[in-house]
Each structure stands twice: as structure tokens, then as C-alpha cells.
Structure 1
Amino acid sequence: MTTKMFSRISLVACGALLMAACTTNPYTGESQLSKTAIGAVGAGAIGAGIGALVSKNNRAKGAAIGAGIGAVAGGSVGAYMDIQDKKLREELKGTGVSVTKNGDEIILNMPGDITFKSGSADLSSDFHAVLNSVAKVLNKYEKTIVTVVGYTDNTGSAKTNLTLSQQRANTVAQYLIGQKVKSERFVIEGLGATQFIAPNTTAEGRAQNRRVEISLNAITK
């Protein structure tokens, strides 16, 4: 995992632990979070989630290089990710999926209300075309690790939310693999009811928190 990606996850986790106010939604730019919106999450759970992502990312990088996918030269990473960012924005315009570029990392936010039915890990048939578009870009620019992480709102038990988030992340990843995106590139994780991006006090906020995020990071030597 890149330092930038690790920092992004760590900052969000620390925000949840400290119940600190976050005034800007990272995807919409709107002011949304407050101290009560985030809620308390155990430090052990957050730390375990981050640790798992770091470990899986490192293994995926090795597997991808071992599978002959190759790596991007350090000085070319910026340009390589810039062109993917442009292509993804073109493909996903008007789909409800947001594309955010954070340094050399690209983040796709897929809200649960357009990807899955409530409480289900079965992918909505209307969303197949969207993932086909994502797969098209991933297959053209294959020198990236594809990290797929599922999240839920805070409704229901922690165990149920964790399981559902894992199932949804796996569903998205397996669909992309079915579109010939190489499995060696994937990191798949469910983090349940953590790292909220909107208040859980409204139906709209909960819908935003029920999401799957895909993060793309260049494979470098």
C-alpha cells in the first residue's frame, strides 16, 4: 500500500476514534459530518482493518508482479494515473459513481443505493453496465492494485454489518474478475460500520455510508 493510501485510511480512522468533526465530504465537497455523526469505533477494530489492508496490499503487489503484470517506473506514475482518472471520469459520468483523485491514488465511491438492494449482497442488474465500464479501464491500464472495500451504515449489529460489507466488496471484486481483470491485482476487505462519510441520522446519510470503494494505486518496484 502506498504511503498516501495508508495515510488516507489512517486519518479517517483517527477521526472516528476521536469523534472529531469532519466538515467536508471527500466526494461531494459538502459540509456533512459532526461529532455525533461519526460515532465511537473501537481502536482495536480500526487498527485491525488498516493492518489487514496493508498486509493484503503488499501480498497483492508481489502476486501481480509475479504474474507478469509489471510495474510503473517511479517517474511515470503521475502521468499513468492521470490518464486513468480521465478515462474513468468519461466512462462513469452520470452513473452516480464519484471519481476522486488524491495524489496518485484514484478512488471510486459506489453508493449502496445504486449497487445493492437494502441488506443484500446481490449486485443490482442495472449496475452491471457501470462495472463493465470500470473493468474496461482496469484492463487497459493493468499496472495498478485494485483495493475493494465495503462499508455499511450503523444500523444493525456490528457482526452483521461486517459480514455484509465483506460480502458486498467480494461481489464487486468477483464481478470485475469475471470481466477479465486479473485476480492477482485485487485486495478485498469489509470494514463494516466504520469510516462514515455522512451522518447516520438521516436516510440520505445512511445511504451514502452504505458503499463500496475501489482504490487504484500504481504497482511500482
Structure 2
Amino acid sequence: MKKTVLAFAFSTLTLGGCMTYDPYTGEEKTSNATMGSVIGAIGGAAVGAATSSKSDRGKGALIGAASGAAVGGGIGYYMDRQEAELRNKLEGSGVRVVRNGDQIDLVMPGNITFDVNQTTIKPSFSNTLESVALVLKEFDKTTIQIEGHTDSTGSRDYNQLLSERRAGSVRDFLLNQGIQAGRTRAVGYGPRYPIASNDTAAGREQNRRVELTLVPTQQ
């Protein structure tokens, strides 16, 4: 049974178009769709073998591997396409696209999205958010969590409210672009989750941000 699983995983890697191009590093990398297929194949094979009779265990593993690969690869491929489209639309905008498994994070620095201590999106950033909305409408099988973050300067209560209002402004913008309200959730975290040191001006600038987290609606 182990040989069957390994053989199927190998064929998935060699026949499934296993590499994608990262426009930011200029390097090839294993696509998440391929990795999802391999993981799904192994998991599906284990289930197939466990639920089959002893004489049919090899056949059950193969069937399970095939179905697992289809499910795992389908989600990964969908998110691969969405990631590629977002990178294409947002290149040079200042928005970072970060991939983590089947999750995509869009990190929007506050200095390009909002003026200091303001919650109204800069007019100069509207075109970028419109591009984001176009991709989100095309790939509508994802949910969108919108998170506001601040640095630690000022009172905690003020920063909490500022982060909530900024996340709400981005959500309102996306809704006005036709994104369904049920797909979105806006939340503010204030200074609780810094990504850099608040001891330097450069670090505080990184911490003042809005992040969009995109995840598949069906796992």
C-alpha cells in the first residue's frame, strides 16, 4: 500500500504542473496546488485503505489517493490563480501579497492607505483597492477578514478605535465595489500584533497597516 501511495504522489508531482513562477523573487517554486494534491493523495489513500477489506486494500488506497488529490489540488489551484492575479494587479502598489498554504494575506501599509490619524482612505489609493475588488469578485469562493493594526504610540483605547474604523473603511469601500457583505468581516486589533519593533520610526510605520486575509469558503 505504501508503494501505491508513493507512486501516485510521484505521478502527481511529475504530471500536475508542479512549478509556478514567483514574480517577486524571479524563482520557480512548487505550486500550492501540487502540494495540496500530494497531501490530499496521501490522506485519501490512508482513508481508502482503512475503509477497505484486506484483499481490496491496495485498490482502496488508489481510489482514495485519486479523490484526495482532486480535492487538495482543486483548492490549491484556485488559490494559486487568485494569488497570481493579485500579484499582477498589485505589483508596484506598495501592497504585499503573502501566501501561507491556502491563505492569502494582503498587507496594506497605513502610510499609503490613510493619512496620519485619519480613517478615510486616500483618494490616491482608490484605484489599487478597486483592482483588489475586481479580483475578489472574480474569485468569489473566498471569505475576507479585514484587520486594522496600529503602532503603540498613544493610548490603547484610541488605537483600538482607530484600527476598527480603518478596517471598517476598507470593508465599506469593498462593499461599494460590489463585494457581498456576507463574505467580509472587519476587526480592529490596535497595537496587539506588531510585525516590527515599535522602538523605531520605521518599525512603527510597518505596524500601522490594514491586512486582508483571504481563505477558501469550502475546505
Specify if TM > 0.5: yes
CA distance, structure 2, for counterparts of residue 82 and residue 140 of structure 1:
14
Asked if 2 retains the 8 angstrom alpha-carbon contact of 1:132 and 1:179, the reply is yes
Q: In structure 2, what residue type is equivalent to 1:127?
A: F
CA distance in 1, matches of 2:185, 2:171: 9
Instruction: Name the aligned partner's letter for residue 119 of structure 2.
Output: A
Residue 189 (structure 1) aligned with residue 187 (structure 2): yes
Alignment-derived partner of residue 21 in structure 1: none
Q: Which of 148, 153, 156 is matched with 1:155 structurally?
A: 153
Partner-residue secondary structure (3-state), 1:199: coil
The alpha-carbon deviation at position 199 of structure 1 amounts to: 1.1
Following superposition, the deviation at residue 74 of structure 1 comes to 4.1
Amino acid at match of 2:94: G
Aligned counterparts of 1:189 and 1:83: Cα–Cα separation in 2: 27
Note the aligned Cα RMSD (angstroms): 1.4
Give the conservation status (yes or no) of the 8 Å contact 1:74–1:220.
Answer: no
1:94 aligns with 2:92: yes
Matches within 5 A, 1:20-31: none
User: 1:88-131: per-residue Cα shift (whole Å, max 9, x none)?
Assistant: 00000000000000000000000000000111101100000010
Cα deviation for residue 194 of structure 1 reads 1.2
Amino acid at match of 1:167: R
How many Å separate the matches in 1 of 2:201 and 2:114?
15
Residue-by-residue CA offset, 1:3-47 (whole Å, 9 max, x unaligned):
xxxxxxxxxxxxxxxxxxxxxxxxx9xxxxxxxxxxxxxxxxxxx
Count of matched residue positions in the alignment of Structure 1 and Structure 2: 150
Q: 1:89 aligns to what SS in structure 2?
A: helix
Q: Give matches, 1:22-171, under 5 Å.
A: 74-75=71-72, 76-171=74-169
Aligned CA distance change for structure 1 residues 78 and 156 (closer, same or farther; 3 Å)? same
Task: Mark the structure with the bigger radius of gyration.
Answer: 2
Summarize deviations over 1:133-169 as a string: whole Å, max 9, x none.
1001000000000000000000011100000000000
Q: Structure 1, unaligned stretches of length 5 or more?
A: 1-27, 29-72
The answer as to whether partners of 1:145 and 1:217 remain within 8 angstroms in 2 is yes
CA deviation map 1:170-196 (0-9, x unaligned): 000110110001111001100001111
SS in 1 for 2:146: strand
Name the structure 2 match of 1:176.
Answer: 174
Q: Secondary structure at the match of 2:190?
A: coil
Is 2:214 the counterpart of 1:219? no
Moved over 2 A (4+): none
Q: TM-score, normalised by structure 1?
A: 0.66
Q: Which has the higher contact order (CA 8 A, sep 6+)?
A: 1
The CA distance in 2 between the partners of 1:115 and 1:207, in whole Å, is 12
1:74 to 1:165, Cα distance in 2 relative to 1, 3 A: farther
CA–CA distance in 2 between the matches of 1:195 and 1:128? 26
In the alignment, the residues of structure 2 paired with residue 77 and residue 191 of structure 1 have an alpha-carbon distance, to the nearest angstrom, of 29
Distance in structure 1 (CA, Å) of the matches to 2:204 and 2:80? 31
